[in-house]
Amino acid sequence: MTKKIGIGLFLLVFASCKFSNTLESDKKLSTKIETAFVAKDKKVDFSQFDGFNWNQLLILGPYLAVGHIEKGLGLDLSNIKENGIEYSDAFNLLIFIENGKSIKISEVSRSIGDFTPIGILIDKNEAIFQKTANGKITLVK
């Protein structure tokens, strides 16, 4: 009996360690981003979202496979693989990266528009977006 309890505790600890590094969407940041894009034609400079350090932004659209993007870009996205973007069309996933590792994520509702481009790394100082008349949120060049 005690052996079964010991094995059960080991499995519980092992499972909790596996998922304890998983990032969850920062709801406050998501609200800030969504609010910033309410007005059309307004430019939003993501470098102004402070409170954490990051140097690159990666945006994933619905149904994109995190593992595929991770390999293609040579990143460590292991802490967001359980996010669910691969199976949902309700949100865009904004991944804030510091030195090749995801450090914060934001699930931004698609009701404000779809981001473009997706699946590429965007440097922090270039992460300025604008909502267009057709509802797309595009990178300002």
19 belongs to a structural domain: no
> 62: domain range?
24-139
42 belongs to a structural domain: yes
pLDDT in tens, 6-59: 565 555 554 444 445 789 999 999 999 999 998 766 899 999 988 899 999 999
Q: How many domains are there within the chain?
A: 1
User: Which string of DSSP letters, residue by residue, matches the chain?
Assistant: -HHHHHHHHHHHHHHHHHHHT---B-HHHHHHHHHHTSSTT-EEEGGG--SS--SEEEEE-TT--HHHHHHHHT-B-GGGTTS-GGG-SSEEEEEEEETTEEEEEEEEEGGG--EES-SSEEEGGG-EEEE-TTS-EEE--
